[in-house]
Every structure is written in structure tokens, then in C-alpha cells.
């Protein structure tokens, strides 16, 4: 038995929609992602319309989208109150600053499993990923085709490119269309995969107790 076969992925449902407030594991549509390449194309001279703050270099960068993206930051890193408290006492949180803090959060792009450029196109490998979700830098996502659960945006069988997470401003993420949220068991798997990505240490998803509110 290979080491990864000791850690099968959960088979319970991955998706639900509990509330509208930003939460770790939320999936959004048309997430803009920017990755810096081996070269920076500096703008020299820079555009004169806007002053360039000290310490910043004006460069040309390309923003792209893979269709969907997932919020990876811990919920407590950017949201103060619990979702249930906001929904039960909305007048206590009249402004976004009463709900959210920390201007930037981590969001990772999502690729269709069979169209991810870093995963070999091999049926046996796809089978292993479906059963064990063992690729360290990616998290497997089953397909979500129920339009009532996705606001009309079906999510194909996919992988989250955890290692490609980008920092996006919280207000930008709030403006995006939320497709779905992860269930508790899927959040446990996400926590497991983030630990595996950052440390290389394998764990059981049942070791994690994510805050779902």
C-alpha cells in the first residue's frame, strides 16, 4: 500500500449554501488571479496620471481567471462576528467594517481536473485523485451540477491550485458571485490539504475541527 492510500478523501457531500458572509472554503465565479513571471515589465517612464507611492515599482502585469476560485484564508483572519449573529442582529453591524477586517485575503484558482496543465492526463491518475486527493499542491473537488445550489453556475470536477493562491482585496472578493460553500467534511479536507501543502505532513481530515460559522 502506498503511503497516500492510508488517507482516503471523504465521500460525504462537499457543497452547501449556509449564508452570504465570506467564509473559508467559499467558491466564487470569475476570480481574477495575477501571477508574476520570470520578468517584470517595468513602465519607464510610468504613467503620469497617478503618482507612484514610495516603495512601489510600476509594472505591467496580466490578470486572468480559470472560471472559479476558492477562498483559503481562515475566516477569523478577516471576519469579526459569527454569521448567525449578523443574521439575527443586522442592525448591530450596519457597515462592512463592523463585519470584516484585514484588507487582503488568499484566494486560489480552480482548474477542471482533466484540463489542469500540471496534472498528467492519465485515467489511472484521475482515479487515484478522486479516491485519495493525494496531490500535495492541489485539492480535489467533485462536480457540482445542481443549478439551484450554484446560482446557475455548474462547477465541473476540478482541483484547487493551492500553491497558486493570490492575495485579493476583501472588497473585490465581496463583489464576486458566490457559487457555493464547503460542508464541514469538505472544510476538514481543505484544512488537511493546507497543512500538507505548507508542511508536507500527512494527517487525517478528521483531525480538524473547522469553525463553520
pLDDT in tens, 38-72: 888 887 766 666 777 888 888 888 888 889 999 99
| Residue 91 resides in a domain | yes
* Residue 79: pLDDT over 90: yes
What is the reported pLDDT for 42? Answer: 82
The Cα 47–Cα 146 span in angstroms is 47
pLDDT in tens, 21-45: 999 999 999 999 988 888 888 877 6
The Cα 24–Cα 92 span in angstroms is 23
| Residue 50 resides in a domain | no
What is the dihedral sign for C-alpha 34, 35, 41, 46?
A: positive
Show the domain range for 69.
3-35+60-198
**Which is it for strands 158-161 and 138-141: parallel, antiparallel or unpaired?**
antiparallel
* Residue 118: pLDDT over 50: yes
Contact between 180 and 23 under an 8 Å Cβ cutoff? The reply is no
What is the reported pLDDT for 152? Answer: 56
| Residue 128 resides in a domain | yes
| Residue 49 resides in a domain | no
The Cα 50–Cα 63 span in angstroms is 20
Quote the mean pLDDT of the chain: 91
| Residue 44 resides in a domain | no
CA distances from 7 to 129, 168, 184, 187 (A): 11, 32, 17, 16
The Cα 143–Cα 146 span in angstroms is 9
What is the reported pLDDT for 124? Answer: 97
How many folded domains does the chain comprise? 1
What is the reported pLDDT for 150? Answer: 45
What is the dihedral sign for C-alpha 65, 157, 147, 189?
A: negative
* Residue 153: pLDDT over 70: no
| Residue 187 resides in a domain | yes
Whichever domain contains 76, its CATH number is 2.30.30.110
Contact between 27 and 179 under an 8 Å Cβ cutoff? The reply is yes
Kindly provide the b/e burial profile for residues 84-93, where b requires at least 16 CB atoms within 10 angstroms of the residue's own CB: eebeeeeeeb
Amino acid at each position: 500500500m502506498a503511503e497516500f492510500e492510508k488517507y482516503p478523501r471523504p465521500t460525504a457531500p462537499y457543497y452547501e449554501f449556509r449564508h452570504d458572509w465570506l467564509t473559508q472554503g467559499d467558491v466564487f465565479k470569475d476570480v481574477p488571479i495575477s501571477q508574476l513571471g520570470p520578468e517584470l515589465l517595468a513602465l519607464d517612464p510610468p504613467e503620469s496620471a497617478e503618482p507612484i507611492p514610495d516603495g512601489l515599482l510600476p509594472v505591467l502585469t496580466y490578470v486572468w481567471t480559470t472560471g472559479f476560485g476558492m477562498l483559503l484564508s481562515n475566516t477569523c483572519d478577516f471576519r469579526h462576528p459569527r454569521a448567525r449573529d449578523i443574521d439575527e442582529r443586522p442592525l448591530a453591524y450596519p457597515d462592512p467594517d463592523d463585519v470584516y477586517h484585514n484588507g487582503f485575503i488568499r484566494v486560489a484558482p480552480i482548474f477542471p481536473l482533466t484540463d489542469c496543465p500540471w496534472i498528467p492526463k492519465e485515467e489511472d491518475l484521475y482515479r487515484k485523485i478522486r479516491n485519495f486527493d493525494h496531490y500535495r499542491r492541489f485539492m480535489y473537488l467533485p462536480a457540482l451540477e445542481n443549478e439551484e445550489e450554484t446560482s446557475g453556475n455548474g462547477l465541473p470536477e476540478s482541483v484547487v491550485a493551492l500553491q497558486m493562491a493570490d492575495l485579493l482585496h476583501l472588497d473585490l472578493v465581496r463583489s464576486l458571485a458566490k457559487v457555493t460553500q464547503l460542508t464541514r467534511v469538505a472544510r476538514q479536507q481543505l484544512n488537511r490539504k493546507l497543512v500538507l501543502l505548507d508542511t508536507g505532513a500527512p494527517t487525517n481530515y478528521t483531525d480538524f475541527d473547522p469553525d463553520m460559522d
